[in-house]
Amino acid sequence: MRQNLMVIHRVARDALGHFNDDDGWAMASHVAMSVLLAAFPFLIFATSLASFLGAGVVASSAVDFIFDTVPEIIAKPIAGEVHTVLSVPRGDLLTVGGLLALVFASNGVEAVRVALNRAYRQRETRSFIFRRIQSLFFVLLATVALLSISFLLVLAPLAWAIVLKYFPQAAELSSQVFLLRYAVVSLVLVTGLYASHLWLPAGKRAFDVLWPGIILSIVASFIGSLVFATYLEQFATYTSTYAGLASGVIALLFLYLLAAFFIIGAEFNAAISRYLLARAIVAR
């Protein structure tokens, strides 16, 4: 037990020390700002694609669901602006505007890549063209995931209603089916985190060594969201300080918090790998 605590202390000190010494807080700020700036171009591109496929209405369902997972005091000021973007009819997927939205959205992926390279102590050797194509692919993948979630949230209740019509005895399983929707969406989000840690930074990492940092990021983000929401409700005076900019400040601070936890998760993965490597060398 004592040895395990010593290992955890060593890994934590390595991870948090490197995060603090290698501008982790500044990188979290960079990621937060870049993701915020990329979010609306991404939504514009996703809405354009949904309209092109004849499913423009369902896109907002996934956004509503995502905001439902965030404390209301944080989500409410942001959700209004997002729905303003989604409510504009989009049919410019294949125009210059649609392509520019795709490129601008990929800038957020590039910011995440830079942060992960620092956390994993990697030096980028891949070409600019490869990295940009990969970032565009990640945006397309996120768009497909968003649309898939949209269809799941819209079609699943309809399909379940049809099942209940012919098999009323299945009504007792309704709560499990409802939870299954959340499980599927959570699986999509975790898959996205795994893909980011696995492929965005340079170098190679085994698939099974990424889960400690990912779980840490998810748990810390959940707790941090609750603490931040409590802080906003009890102590913060952003509205009186920033007036109309308050919603943007809240969104930026929330993303900053999530970005810090995301980078720290990668730092822990890197610290664990360094510890295992050092132990293997000593054992030889």
pLDDT, mean of residues 248-272: 90
129 versus 4: the higher-pLDDT residue is 129
Cβ–Cβ contacts within 10 Å for residue 182, how many?
Answer: 12
Separation CA 141–CA 116 (nearest Å): 19
Look at residues 65, 93, 227 and name the one whose alpha carbon lies nearest to residue 157.
65
Highest mean pLDDT among 114-128, 180-194, 218-232: 114-128
What was the pLDDT predicted at 220? 92
pLDDT tops 60 at residue 115: yes
Separation CA 149–CA 135 (nearest Å): 21
For 136-151, the pLDDT digits (tens) are 899 888 877 777 776 6
Confidence of residue 269 (pLDDT cuts 50, 70, 90): very high
Look at residues 225, 173, 206 and name the one whose alpha carbon lies nearest to residue 69.
225
| Residues in CB range of 59: below 8 A, 6 or more apart | 46, 47, 50, 86, 146, 147, 150
Q: If you average pLDDT over every residue of the chain, what do you get?
A: 79
Separation CA 105–CA 76 (nearest Å): 23
Confidence of residue 109 (pLDDT cuts 50, 70, 90): very high
Q: Is the pTM of this model over 0.85?
A: no
Separation CA 178–CA 65 (nearest Å): 13
Between 5-14, 163-172, 188-197, the lowest mean confidence (pLDDT) is in 163-172
User: Domain locations in the chain?
Assistant: 2-283
For 177-195, the pLDDT digits (tens) are 666 666 777 788 888 889 9
Separation CA 274–CA 147 (nearest Å): 39
DSSP class of residue 243 equals G
Cβ–Cβ contacts within 10 Å for residue 256, how many?
Answer: 19
271 versus 167: the higher-pLDDT residue is 271
